[in-house]
A and B are shown apart, each in its own frame.
Chain A
Amino acid sequence: MSDPSAPPAARPALLDIRGLSKSFGTLKALDGVDFTLGEGEIHALLGENGAGKSTLIKVVTGVFARDAGTVRLAGREIAPRSAKDAVDAGIATVYQEVNLLPNLSVAQNLYLGRQPTRFGVVREGEMKRRARALLLDYGLDIDVGAPLSSYSVAVQHITAIARAVDLSARVLILDEPTASLDRHEVEILFSVMRKLADRGIGIVFVSHFLDQVYEICDRVTVLRNGRLIGSRDIADLPRLDLIRMMLGRELAETTHERAASQPDTAREVCVSFKGFGKQGYVAPFDLELRRGEVVGLAGLLGSGRTETARLVFGAERADSGEATIDGKAIKLNSPRDGAGLGFGYCPEERKTEGIVADLTVRENIVLALQARRGLHRPLSRREQDEIAMRYIRMLDIRPPDPERPIGLLSGGNQQKALLARWLATSPKLLVLDEPTRGIDVGAHAEIIRLVRELCDQGLALLVISSELDEIVTYSNRVVVLRDREHVEELKGEAIEVSSILAAIAADSAPAHEAAS
């Protein structure tokens, strides 16, 4: 790590981003974001899903065009139109999914398009010699003639970095590079990063592993909902404050209406889980879901929230524990089992796992109900129209046109149509994964209101959200997850943004102090 105590102004700004904005339809994915990267600096870019990290990277690397703002590289304004433009300008990106050619040798991957040749023939020996020397510089002593796919992801990452740096990159963006590496491989990658930083290359490190951020980074910038929350020197930033920057608003703002706190026992148990879990996915947990109650799942990205939801719905098969309804064990091995029991699941990836974009609103709404009834009992067109119109009115889906392809609706209205899909099956339990993600502010409040209404009607709800204020507002109970484990269950008065933050940050804090 290059001296983290030096004030940032002392380092010349290598990459300077001012007021960057980018909208998709009505959704502001980036809203006036500033970002400054110094020479030789390792800078973490943090935020939950949908915070705008990847949009920022894609604008800087020319994948998306920006709506407003400036990007300066070493004082010169740049506007890359393609990834190749960005590479030519000196900005290279290494993605989690390595963008190299697995079928070619490591040496070919390093020198593709610029192999040393003599009379048009590639000098294989010379190329391998150079590749070997290049990788030795990164501490890799491997057979560069073997195909890239025969090496681990860590080696592939370092190969990608070596190629990028060799093409005279000055800014290196690493997007979740450690997500599929083991501890030892992470160490190798980190020592490479430190070496490059010492040479004056600026590195943007995107990760959701906070320990790694504390171990390797000099500065951190946090985004939330497309807005800049702040940039700090990591040395001056306690972990609790960092998590608060990522998840919560300032505590003073969180005056809210609390969910009616009836005693738990007054409510009828809908389904209960005992020691339910799956190895390497989520540690076994106990969970009771009751009718008329909202259970919130809180935790950082990658803490096991979505994984818990998928187990509860049956989208993933548990390998330990059991689920029971009224004391009777139930089978929960597939989404079909879940749907058959009257469970509904609105996934986080609305676009890929939720809506069928080319079908109409009506067709999307009746999808789950039709699946439940089976192919041999089709809903008549009149029934379909009735159902669609009922929910369009009830949830105020706009425009109120059941025949419009759902892909043309705004995010908030797509989300409502998805809710309608499951409500039409009159479910007992509804699992909502980030129901307010990527939705503009007005629709946001409406979805929250809907969640409470549904709950008052006696539905059991399990809701995942990165917005702690939101969770605090509607939850009767909050389960806090950390490192794929349920670590805390908060009830009634104990449900506060501060207590959730404390539970998320607890006990992992000392580890980083030892590291830095």
Chain B
Amino acid sequence: MKASTSVAITAFVLVAGFALCALQFPNIASTRVVANLLTDNAFLGIVAAGMTFVIISGGIDLSVGSVIGFTTVFTALAIERWGIPPFAAFAMVLVLCALFGAAMGTVIHVFELPPFIVTLAGMFLARGVSFLLSTESIPITAPIYSAVSDFAIRLPGGGRLTAIAIAMLVILVVCALLLHLTRFGANVYALGGSRAATALMGIPVGPMTVRIYMLSSVLAGLAGIVFSFYTAAGYSLSAVGVELDTIAAVVIGGTLLTGGQGSVIGTFLGVLIQGMIQTYINFDGTLSSWWTKIATGVLLFVFIALQQGLMALARRSSLKPAGAKPVDVKPVEATPAGAPT
């Protein structure tokens, strides 16, 4: 109930914001702009879907930006320098990402380390390796790249729903199904509710943790591939700081940073809100593009405050009938003890 309230508020902010933008710049309300917004943020949407799982489970993954950077460099080198067919290169890089995520998950579980520290180390590691591979931007000229960027579904009103936008939408739908309809998804929420209680209920907490970070890294890898299509290049400095944009999108989408609550659709709305702000600034033309960050920051503050407020309300209403402390309980001889049969 609370979760859907958060998503509803996010949706309202998106619609209201979009309406305001459209009032000032009527051209914004066109399929062309909306389709571009999806294309520009395709990689962000994909990586944010993975982050949603991680944060709901009570963790955090700071390595995703670096993993995207690594993926673009590795893919570009594999295709352009090592002569590996593109799809084989994609498969290789995704396997590497999966192993990387599994390693982080294992370290977090086995050594009981905070995910923050472990994934921070992962962030440096992945970024360092991509610099080691190459420090320059490597253009990708494989035919599949031009084919994919030429492909688009034409929308009424002149919009082009590109292949990478479609990829993002498909991945989001799959992730939403995984999170909301499977045992795996239920376990993710359970972990975020209470790790100890989840373990007591017989859920294998270790393998779950490993799988969640694997999923996040694989999705970051997919986002990296999409990013390489978007820029048609591999560069070790790409997607610097994207992990923070991702976390912001997830939190604005109504996922609790403390875990246990959230949704993929909310995250999608969070991504769209960030994209909308960027679009507005592009339309305005006089504002520095860094205003995107400022607006995102303000929104984050507002949403976190809002979540705390909603939680406090919920806590108050749920405590009322139960009686919070043993202190409030009157010993029972006060009432006649009639045993029901």
Contacts and interface: CB of A to CB of B under 8 A. Distances in A.
12 contacts: A96-B326, A101-B193, A112-B187, A122-B181, A152-B322, A153-B322, A180-B325, A190-B339, A191-B340, A211-B337, A280-B328, A281-B327
A180 B323 contact: yes
Interface residues of A, number: 53
A211 B332 CA distance: 7
Contact of B186 (A83, A84, A115, A150): A115
B87 to A, nearest CB: 26
A273 interface: no
Contacts of A181: 323, 329
Contact of B192 (A103, A154, A183, A212): A103
A147 B323 CA distance: 18
B83 to A, nearest CB: 39
A372 B260 CA distance: 44
A87 B197 CA distance: 13
B178 to A, nearest CB: 9
Contacts of B338: 515
A84 B202 contact: yes
Contacts of B314: 149
Interface of B: 1-2, 177, 181-183, 186-187, 189-190, 192-194, 196-203, 260-261, 314, 318, 321-340
B337 A180 contact: no
Given A113-B203, A515-B337, A101 B194 contact: yes
Nearest to B177: A121
Contact of B326 (A179, A191, A212, A508): A179
Interface string A429-448: 00000000000000000000
Give the dominant DSSP class at B's interface: helix
Contact of A104 (B186, B332, B339): B186
Contact of A103 (B202, B260, B331): B260
Interface string A82-100: 0110010000000010011
A285 interface: no
Q: Which of A101, A108, A484 has the most CB of B within 10 A?
A: A101
A209 B334 CA distance: 12
A514 B337 contact: yes
A187 interface: yes
A121 B329 contact: no
Contact of B199 (A84, A96, A484, A511): A84
A265 B7 CA distance: 70
Given A115-B183, A182-B329, A104 B190 contact: yes
B335 A183 contact: yes
Contacts of B326: 96, 176, 179-180, 302
Contact of B201 (A102, A112, A154): A112
Nearest to B335: A183
A101 B339 contact: no
Contact of B1 (A100, A146, A186): A146
Nearest to A61: B200
A117 B1 CA distance: 24
A209 B332 contact: yes
A322 interface: no
A208 to B, nearest CB: 9
A483 interface: yes
Contacts of B260: 101, 103
Contacts of A102: 193-194
A211 B333 contact: yes
Contact of A187 (B177, B261, B340): B340
B337 A103 contact: no
A104 B329 contact: no
A215 interface: yes
B339 A147 contact: no
Which of the listed residues B182, B201, B323 has the most CB atoms from chain A within 10 Å of its own CB?
B201
A84 B200 contact: yes
A102 B256 CA distance: 14
Q: Which 6 A-B pairs have the closest CB atoms?
A: A101-B193, A515-B337, A103-B260, A103-B193, A179-B326, A152-B322
Contacts of A104: 186, 189-190, 193
B175 to A, nearest CB: 14
Nearest to B326: A179
Contact of A154 (B183, B189, B190, B322): B322
A83 B322 contact: no
B277 to A, nearest CB: 30
B323 A153 contact: yes
A327 interface: no
Determine which residue in B183, B187, B321, B324 has the highest number of CB atoms from chain A within 10 A of its CB, and name it: B183
Contact of A511 (B189, B192, B337): B337
A374 interface: no
